[in-house]
Amino acid sequence: MQKLQQFKTQHLSKFSQLILLNNRGHVVASCDSIFSTVALRDKPASDWFPFIESIFDSLLSIEVDHPEVRFSKVETHLDILPGSYDYTFTSVHLDGENYILWSIYDYTDLYDDFKKFQQRRNELEIHRQKLEERNKKLKHQTDILAQKNLLLENLNSIQNDYFGRIKNALQSPVNALDGLTFILSQKNNSEDSDYISALRATAEHLQSVIAEFEGMSANDNTSELLEGEKKEFNLRSLIDSVIELFRENIGDTIKIDIDYTDDVPAILYGNPLSLKRVIYSLLLNSHKNDQYSRLGIAISSAERKSSTYKLQIDIYEYLLQESRLNGNPFNMTELILRLSVVKKMIELQGGSIAVSSDPAKQTITISCQIPLLLPTSATSIQ
């Protein structure tokens, strides 16, 4: 067996274990670097290693110096040899006898790492495909948004041009009508006072229409107006912003009292831009446009169900004595004319509007109800 020892010395650095089998399949010699064969040498290897039994006849037919026979990535679950291995078999001639040299390469860790690598590579490929599909969808959505933005820019330009043309067409005759009513009012002809009041109301109504066109052209967001974008919004913040804008345009001298009932939700769902326009138009058309004006705003719940909500807005105009003494008496016909535009806006949203007076309290009340939705996380204003 000296030649076997020399062979092992030359090749042990490459092989995990070398086993020499005779023509009956018994272990003649082994370096036992992976598992011990001492207790197995009294019986053929095929008894404790079934894999050998299936190929042993073929192994006996291998001639000396012929190429080795290799079996790669053989997984075994035997107690003596668990793991993944490469096996090679070749015929060798030692001391006048032919033997089968069984070489075992221990690649258990390598194959485990390779499996993990393949699994990871497959996961990365799946992720790459998903990412590629997502990028395609994002690009498609970006292209659609770009087209929409271009369309909205064109519509915005058309809208501004349209509002400008209407304003210019109305401004001159309205100015003339306003001047004419002023001249006629100076003649103090009581027989014509009703006609003059009607003319004046018409002129003021047209002026409010022009003001609304200017506001829509300058301040409205075209996409929200056209698409009616709905989202959650804070009701108190929205109303505060409208009052602030109203004061900036009308003046800081006007007194405004505002009150919320406890059942009014803090957060609502709907088109905040449309609601802003409605409240601003109500304020714009309800005040007397003089230094004695005083308004009251009451916000309450008209109707509340599981998901739907109807907002109640009452705007009071106090008929102050100073206003009446300074030539600004209340005229219901005039008020109704001024509210015609905002009435249409409210009705288009499925709401309603009404005007009433209370001689005892000396107030005129504009009441409207606007349908909205309740978000799932709605809470009440404290």
Residues 276 and 382 in one domain: yes
- Residue 114 identity: F
Residues 99 and 124 in one domain: no
The answer to whether residues 99 and 24 touch, using CB atoms and an 8 Å cutoff, is no
According to the model, what pLDDT value does residue 21 have? 92
According to the model, what pLDDT value does residue 225 have? 44
Last residue of a domain, one of 79, 106, 133: 106
Query: How many domains in the chain?
Result: 3
Identify the residue with better confidence: 342 or 64: 64
Residues 374 and 273 in one domain: yes
Read off the pLDDT band of 380 (50, 70, 90): very low
Q: Flag whether pLDDT at 350 surpasses 60.
A: yes
Residues 86 and 143 in one domain: no
Q: Which of 222, 224, 309 is nearest to 264 (CA)?
A: 309
Residue 220: which domain range?
Answer: 112-227
pLDDT digits (tens, 9 = 90+) for 31-65: 888 888 888 888 898 888 888 888 998 999 998 88
Identify the residue with better confidence: 56 or 188: 56
* Mean pLDDT score, 256-281: 89
- Residue 338 identity: R
List the CATH number of the domain containing 77: 3.30.450.20
Residues 96 and 165 in one domain: no
Residues 257 and 316 in one domain: yes
Q: How far apart, in whole angstroms, are the C-alpha atoms of residue 56 and residue 53?
A: 5
* Mean pLDDT score, 290-313: 83
Q: Which two tokens stand for residue 231?
A: 């989202």
**Mind spelling out the 3-state secondary structure of 134-162?**
HHHHHHHHHHHHHHHHHHHHHHHHHHHHH
Read off the pLDDT band of 191 (50, 70, 90): low
Q: Flag whether pLDDT at 6 surpasses 90.
A: no
Last residue of a domain, one of 75, 106, 137: 106
Last residue of a domain, one of 227, 252, 284: 227
Q: Flag whether pLDDT at 260 surpasses 60.
A: yes
* Mean pLDDT score, 334-350: 77
Read off the pLDDT band of 175 (50, 70, 90): low
Residues 342 and 270 in one domain: yes
Helix (H) or strand (E) holding 285: helix 272-286
* Mean pLDDT score, 256-282: 89
Task: Count, in order, helices (H) and strands (E) of the chain.
Answer: 11, 12
* Mean pLDDT score, 277-298: 74
Residues 245 and 302 in one domain: yes
How many CB atoms lie under 10 A from the CB of residue 329? 12
Most confident of 143-157, 267-281, 348-362: 267-281
Residues 354 and 253 in one domain: yes
Q: Which two tokens stand for residue 223?
A: 């996409």
According to the model, what pLDDT value does residue 379 have? 44
According to the model, what pLDDT value does residue 153 have? 83
Residues 280 and 290 in one domain: yes
How many CB atoms lie under 10 A from the CB of residue 189? 11
Q: Which of 283, 274, 284 is nearest to 345 (CA)?
A: 274
CA R_g for the chain: 47
According to the model, what pLDDT value does residue 167 have? 66
Average model confidence (pLDDT) across the chain: 78
* Mean pLDDT score, 222-246: 77
Read off the pLDDT band of 174 (50, 70, 90): low
